[in-house]
Structure 1
């Protein structure tokens, strides 16, 4: 059951889940993770304030399937991590109070962005952004699985673990976990699907 954060410390908050696997190419990436593309927007990440990244992202390469050499895998890891960082910085970090989080999804396809914006309790701090005095991402780790086809990166699954500290009218520590599914295009890597959950840490 989804609970709506109010003022004061939120205890016992149940986790909420956002899921949107919105392209057929996800079938290929299911094997990549071990467990429709769009054309609008840029390949870079979302916005946010300069210097807001309090901790560096711990980015690691996971499983590599198909035909990719070490250099290609390293380049893809860096590019995918940049996209994921854009979502993290635009969706969870930055200046508060605020009510606009669209920049977090600049590297999402049109369909994925629409679905992410419709799930503000999970995919960003939009549900409580107007009540916050500050938010800090104190843990950010990303493990990227890659799929290579004919010697080129063809897909990626980014497994994400975040800890987000909220302060102000809402005062709690949340953990965000899940995966983003990405595909490369002429404008760079794009997020076409996601499966993300969020809940209060320790609840």
Structure 2
């Protein structure tokens, strides 16, 4: 399944349209409004939840899904945490193996998004949102040396800014299920299998 080595031209290439390159994976979470506490017009609620989810998606895209793989762990930085406040960046920066693909990036060739959901609780006062809790779940598969299914889930505490929302707190967990090597099923009698 090599991608290289297709450059040999025949004398007269047929003008058939060449397949366009696969678009890069993107996160487009399904934003679901779960609960509103306080006074906030119903016709503005879903829009607020959608805006919260857009900020969450920017982080998921920058931290886990976007960019070229494999790549160095050092390429993950504050830029991998868009929408986070300075305080949250400081905290998340100490946990980049959890809050991004930093530790696995050198060992994977690509990412495929399986599902992404953001469930939003809004806190409102005087017809304006003053806070949000975003419950996040991103599931994606990795290819390459470290073939696996990754699940990132947890909550983000958010406040509105002049133009968007900002993450000021988080409680995130991450689960990795490594794919079993193809040879494992061929030799069931082998002992001491360790991934």
SS at match of 1:76: helix
- For the structure 1 residues 97 and 182, does the alpha-carbon distance in structure 2 shift closer, same or farther, using more than 3 Å as the test? same
TM-score, normalising length: structure 1: 0.70
- Give the TM-score taking structure 2 as reference length: 0.72
1:134-158 CA distance string (max 9 Å, x none): 1122110110000001110000000
**Matched residue, 2:102:** 126
Q: Helix, strand or coil: the match of 1:125?
A: coil
Give structure 1 stretches of 5+ with no counterpart.
1-49
In structure 2, runs of 5+ residues without a counterpart are 1-22, 180-195
The structure that has the greater radius of gyration is 2
Aligned residues: 153
Q: Which 4+ stretches in 1 moved above 3 angstroms?
A: none
Aligned residue among 162, 181, 188 for 2:157: 181
Match for residue 66 of structure 1 among 14, 38, 41: 38
The residue aligned with 2:55 is 83
Give yes or no for the alignment of 1:97 onto 2:70.
Answer: yes
Q: RCO (CA 8 Å, sep 6+): is it higher in 1 or 2?
A: 1
**Higher normalized strand content (fraction of residues):** 1
Please list, as runs of the form range in 1=range in 2, the aligned pairs for 1:7-86 lying within 5 A after superposition: 51-53=24-26, 56-86=28-58
Task: Work out the CA distance in 2 between the residues paired with 1:71 and 1:190.
Answer: 23
The alpha-carbon deviation at position 121 of structure 1 amounts to 2.0
Instruction: Say if 2:148 and 2:178, in contact at 8 Å, map to a contact too.
Output: no
SS in 1 for 2:154: strand
Cα gap change, 1:79/1:113 in structure 2, threshold over 3 Å: closer, same or farther? same
| Cα offset, 1:66, TM superposition | 0.2
What secondary structure does 1:121 align onto? helix
